[in-house]
Amino acid sequence: MDVVAGVDIGGTNTVVGLVTREGEILAERRIDTTAYPDVDLFCDAIAANVASMAERIDDCLVRGIGIGAPNGNYYSGTIEEAPNLVWKGIIPFADLLGSASRLPVSLTNDANAAAIGEMMYGAARHMRDFVLVTLGTGLGSGFVTGGELMYGSTGFAGELGHVIVVQNGRRCGCGRRGCLETYVSAPGIVRTVGEVLAEYGWRSDLAAIPLRSMTSRDVADAAAQGDVVAREAFERTGTVLGRTLANIAAITSPEAFILFGGLAASGRLIFEPTQREMESNMLPVLKGSVRLLMSKLMESNAAVLGAAALAWTDLDKGIV
């Protein structure tokens, strides 16, 4: 049976899975990323895990490897200055893993891989124009136009999280101020709760939780109980997101924005204000043309599936 390996590189854990063309994960292993300060040894470990998983499956042929990595550059196969990884600088990761495994390797950033996964296995099947938005500790995005992922001239196109939405706004990890992800992300909504509490002094159960340890889940739970501060925080978060999506729609005219991740799992709480603000700010010719959808890969290992979908796509194109 033909499979590819999907590799999801994270700051703490890396997950490696063997995935069929239909998106079935036949085997999966977890590697402690922090245990490998030497990237060569890390690549050897991935290659060894891929080989040993394949040995346990009858007639298994590994065709290639796809990787989703923070700050991954599809063009060069490099991981560049990723703040949460142990390896600093510009790492020629695809070349290193290619040498270690003797397999064709494709690499892109994690949100782009998730978009390809959604196109092959999830809510974007049969779509040629959509944007995947991941709402977690940051805001990642993958833009697909005409059936192709948009990489731009550098390989780093489609960074929706770093569109500036508030002049002189909140400080962002990228070194600038007012980026979308400082408002629309798990830490972003917690910061908004802090502002709402300070502004209104409304009675709220959230006041009892220190902001440092508050999670977006706490905010969602409180909002579901009718907490006014939590509801206001979701309103503001959805408002910023919806307006920004209307702006993006004016540029790429997607069929859909697909939301993924912890904050997206809050369902109506985030979808309602986002949909309303998106539609009310939409360019008239585009009104009613853009759907707001939930990812269909939330329950499965979307990152591994996305990385595998990248490998299948590139093998089919004959690129690798």
- According to DSSP, residue 164 is labeled B
SS3 134: strand
For Zn ion, which residue of 19, 45, 53, 172 counts as binding (CB under 5 A)?
172
- Rounding to the nearest 10 degrees, give the CA dihedral for residues 218, 224, 228, 234: 70
DSSP letter for 36, please: -
Nearest distance, CB of residue 163 and Zn ion, angstroms: 9
Site stretch for Zn ion (CB under 5 A), options 147-155, 174-182, 202-210, 240-248: 174-182
Which of these ranges, 51-59, 128-136, 154-162, 269-277, lies near Zn ion under the rule CB under 5 A? 154-162
Which of the ranges 81-89, 112-120, 150-158, 179-187 carries the binding residues for Zn ion, by CB under 5 A?
179-187
What gap in Å lies between CA 51 and CA 49, rounded to an integer? 5
Tell me the Cα Rg of the chain.
Answer: 20
Cβ neighbours, 10 Å, residue 307: 34
Minimum CB separation of residue 8 from Zn ion in Å reads 23
Q: What are phi and psi of 290, to 5 degrees?
A: -115, 125
Distance set, CA 200 to CA 191, 204, 296 (Å): 15, 10, 38
Smaller CB separation from Zn ion, 172 or 293:
172
Q: Which is closer to Zn ion, CB of 68 or CB of 188?
A: 188
Residue placing its CB nearer to Zn ion in the complex, 147 or 152? 152
Nearer to Zn ion, 66 or 140 (CB): 140
Closest CA to 2 of 305, 315, 302: 315
Structure tokens at 130: 């959509």
Q: For Zn ion, give the closer residue by CB, 54 or 163.
A: 163
Give me the least distance between CB of 139 and Zn ion, in Å please.
Answer: 9
- Residue from 45, 135, 179, 219 touching Zn ion (CB under 5 A): that is 179
Nearer CB in complex with Zn ion: 71/253 = 71
Among the listed residues 39, 57, 157, 174, the single contact to Zn ion using CB under 5 A: 174
Taking the CA atoms of 306, 262, 174 and 254 in sequence, report the sign of the dihedral they define.
positive
User: According to the binding rule CB under 5 A, does residue 162 interact with Zn ion?
Assistant: yes
Nearest-approach distance from CB 17 to Zn ion, in angstroms: 31
Residues engaged in binding Zn ion (CB under 5 A): 162, 172, 174, 179
